[in-house]
């Protein structure tokens, strides 16, 4: 955890992003590091956990981290939490809470509220198009004999 906190402070002080750091650990060893790079890379998805997961998957040459833990300097936001589930992380340890983050203007409570709303009531309009065409691709996937499932 101290390494995640150290990264959050060091990279924030160098203006490389917000005050967030994360590490991925496998078998008691750090295999990947990540820090918030949103402003330094102009990438709204470059949160510490996302960067750490990407780095770990690249290093391990696989798309899952079932035998890994994440240590992050703050409770993951909804995007990062979803990514951690998709990566099949074994356990997440965090330091600051999302309420702590909200106190310094990193408030994701509105996203949690939006997720609960019916599509028609969300802030970003959600409009369905060409479902029939898209379903045929899903049917092709389902029938594909050489697919890599995840």
Catalytic site positions: 49
3-state SS, the chain, equals CHHHHHHHHHHHHCCCCCCCEEEEEECCEEEEEEECCHHHHCCCCCCHHHHHHHHHHHHHCCCCCCCEEEEEEECCCHHHHHHHHHCCCCEEEEEECHHHHHHCCCCCHHHHHHHHCCHHHCCCCCCCCCHHHHHHHHHHHHHCCCCCCC
């Amino acid at each position: 955890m101290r390494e995640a906190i150290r990264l959050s402070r060091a990279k924030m002080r160098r203006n490389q992003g917000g005050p967030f750091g994360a590490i991925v650990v496998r078998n008691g060893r750090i295999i990947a590091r990540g820090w918030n790079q949103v402003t330094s890379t102009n990438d709204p998805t470059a949160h510490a956990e996302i960067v750490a997961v990407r780095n770990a998957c690249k290093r391990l040459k696989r798309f899952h981290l079932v035998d890994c833990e994440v240590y992050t300097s703050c409770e993951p936001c909804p995007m990062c939490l979803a990514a951690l589930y998709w990566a099949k992380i074994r356990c997440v340890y965090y330091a600051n809470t999302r309420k702590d983050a909200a106190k310094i203007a990193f408030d994701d409570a509105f996203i949690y509220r939006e997720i609960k709303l019916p599509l028609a009531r969300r802030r970003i309009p959600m409009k369905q198009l060409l479902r029939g065409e898209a379903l045929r691709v899903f049917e092709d996937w389902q029938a594909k004999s050489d697919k890599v499932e995840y």
